[in-house]
């Protein structure tokens, strides 16, 4: 069964789906060139399968494609960025200290 990440702007979230079933989501809000990411969740029955990582990767890819910076208030998103230093540039330099992220040039 195919797993996809889909933007559902009318609901203010990205959904990760297996077939037609929603198995996770990441809520977001875009304002003034920034995508605020306050919350992600994955169906507990789907835990340990990389669904959350797939979801966050899709969300961050979309932010980059749209030329947005992100505010990773969600700890899962923040941890994902910490584990993938090539993504730190998605967080504006002045916002990085607030989220415990090192500047990209360090």
Range in 1-5, 10-14, 31-35 with the lowest mean pLDDT? 1-5
Residues 40, 76: Cα–Cα separation, whole Å: 7
Enumerate the β-bridge partners of residue 72.
Answer: none
Which strands form 69-71's sheet, in the order they lie side by side?
A: 3-8, 13-18, 21-31, 34-42, 69-71
Residues 34, 67: Cα–Cα separation, whole Å: 9
What pLDDT is attached to residue 80?
97
Q: For 65-103, write each residue's pLDDT tens digit.
A: 999 999 999 999 999 999 999 999 999 999 999 999 975
In the chain the domains, ranked by start, together with CATH numbers, are 3-99 (3.40.630.30)
Model confidence at 1, pLDDT cuts 50, 70, 90, reads confident
């Amino acid at each position: 069964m195919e797993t996809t990440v889909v933007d559902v702007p009318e609901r203010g979230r990205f959904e990760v789906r297996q077939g037609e079933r929603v198995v996770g989501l990441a809520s977001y809000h875009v304002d003034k060139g920034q995508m605020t990411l306050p919350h992600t969740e994955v169906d507990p029955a789907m835990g340990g399968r990389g669904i959350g990582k797939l979801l966050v990767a899709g969300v961050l890819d979309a932010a980059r494609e749209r030329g947005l910076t992100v505010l990773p208030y969600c700890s899962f998103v923040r941890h994902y960025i910490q584990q993938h230093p090539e993504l730190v540039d998605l967080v504006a330099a002045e916002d990085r200290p607030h989220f415990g992220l090192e500047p990209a040039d360090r």
